Structure 1
Amino acid sequence: MKRSDVEPHEDYGFFGPGSVVWKVWSYPTSLTVGFQRAVVVEELDPPLVAAVHGTQGIYQRPRTRYDRTLRYFAMVAFAGSREVCRAADVLVKVHSKAIGHLPYGDGTYDANDPASQLWIQLTGWHSILYAYERYGPGKLTAEEEREYWEACAVAAELQTCSPDDIPRSRDGVRAYFEQMRPRLSASPIARQAMNHLLQTELVLPPTPRWAKPASFVVGRAQRIATIATMPRWMRELAGIRQSRLLDVLIVPVMKASFAFVHLSPRLELLLLRRLSPSTVPVIAPMKLGIPPRNEEVLTPAEARARHGFPKPAEAHLDLRARQAARVLGDGKAPSDRGLIESQDVLGPLA
Structure 2
Amino acid sequence: MAARARKDTGLFGPGSVTWRVHGEHVMWVAGVRALYLQSLHPRVMRGTFQNSALFDRKKAWARFLRTTEFVSIRTFGTTAQVERAGARVRAIHASLTGYDPDTDETFRLDDPEGLLWVHCGEIDSYVDIARRSGILSNDKDADTYVAESRRAAEVVGIPYSDAPASRADLADYFARMRPRLYACREARQGVLSSFNPPFPLRLAPLRLAVPTLNFLAFCALPRWARRMYGIPTFPTTELTVTLSLRSIQQASALLPRPAIPAQV
- SS class of match (1:44): coil
In 2, the alpha carbon distance for the partners of 1:63 and 1:29 equals 20
C-alpha displacement at 1:180, in angstroms?
0.5
C-alpha displacement at 1:241, in angstroms?
5.6
CA contact (8 A) 1:225 1:250 kept: yes
Q: Partner of 2:35 in structure 1? A: 39
- SS class of match (1:18): coil
Higher mean alpha-carbon deviation, 223-232 vs 241-250, is at 241-250
- Answering whether residue 151 of structure 2 is matched by residue 154 of structure 1, we say yes
2:185 to 184, 188, 191: 188
CA contact (8 A) 2:112 2:158 kept: yes
In 1, the alpha carbon distance for the partners of 2:174 and 2:244 equals 29
CA contact (8 A) 1:114 1:162 kept: no
Return closer, same or farther for 1:108/1:9 CA change in 2, 3 Å cut-off.
Answer: farther
In 1, the alpha carbon distance for the partners of 2:178 and 2:148 equals 24
2:200 to 202, 205, 219: 205
Q: Partner of 2:260 in structure 1? A: 285
In 2, the alpha carbon distance for the partners of 1:105 and 1:29 equals 39
In 1, the alpha carbon distance for the partners of 2:198 and 2:79 equals 28
Q: Partner of 2:119 in structure 1? A: 121
**Structure 2 length-normalised TM:** 0.87
Return closer, same or farther for 1:140/1:70 CA change in 2, 3 Å cut-off.
Answer: farther
In 2, the alpha carbon distance for the partners of 1:196 and 1:104 equals 23
Instruction: Report Cα offsets for 1:27-85 as digits up to 9, x if no partner.
Output: 1122x111111112111112211211111411112211211111111211111111111
C-alpha displacement at 1:96, in angstroms?
3.0
Q: Which amino acid aligns with 1:161?
A: I
Q: Partner of 1:82 in structure 2? A: 80
1:230 to 212, 218, 221: 221
Q: Partner of 1:23 in structure 2? A: 20
Q: Partner of 2:209 in structure 1? A: 218
CA contact (8 A) 1:12 1:80 kept: yes
In 2, the alpha carbon distance for the partners of 1:248 and 1:205 equals 34
In 2, the alpha carbon distance for the partners of 1:293 and 1:232 equals 42
CA contact (8 A) 2:96 2:109 kept: yes
In 1, the alpha carbon distance for the partners of 2:247 and 2:89 equals 36
Pairwise mapping of residues 1-350 of structure 1 onto structure 2 (< 5 A)? Answer: 11-30=8-27, 32-60=28-56, 61-142=59-140, 144-197=141-194, 199=195, 201-202=196-197, 204-206=199-201, 212=205, 215-240=206-231, 248-265=239-256, 268=257, 283-285=258-260, 293=263
In 2, the alpha carbon distance for the partners of 1:161 and 1:220 equals 33
Unaligned runs of 5+ in 1: 269-282, 287-291, 295-350
Which of structures 1 and 2 has the bigger CA Rg? 1
Return closer, same or farther for 1:153/1:246 CA change in 2, 3 Å cut-off.
Answer: closer
Instruction: Report Cα offsets for 1:91-144 as digits up to 9, x if no partner.
Output: 1222234303213223222111111111111111111111112224354342x2
% identity of equivalent residues: 25
- SS class of match (1:101): strand
C-alpha displacement at 1:244, in angstroms?
5.5
CA contact (8 A) 2:220 2:241 kept: no
- SS class of match (2:197): helix
Unaligned runs of 5+ in 2: none
CA-based RMSD:
2.7
- SS class of match (1:108): strand
In 2, the alpha carbon distance for the partners of 1:75 and 1:244 equals 39
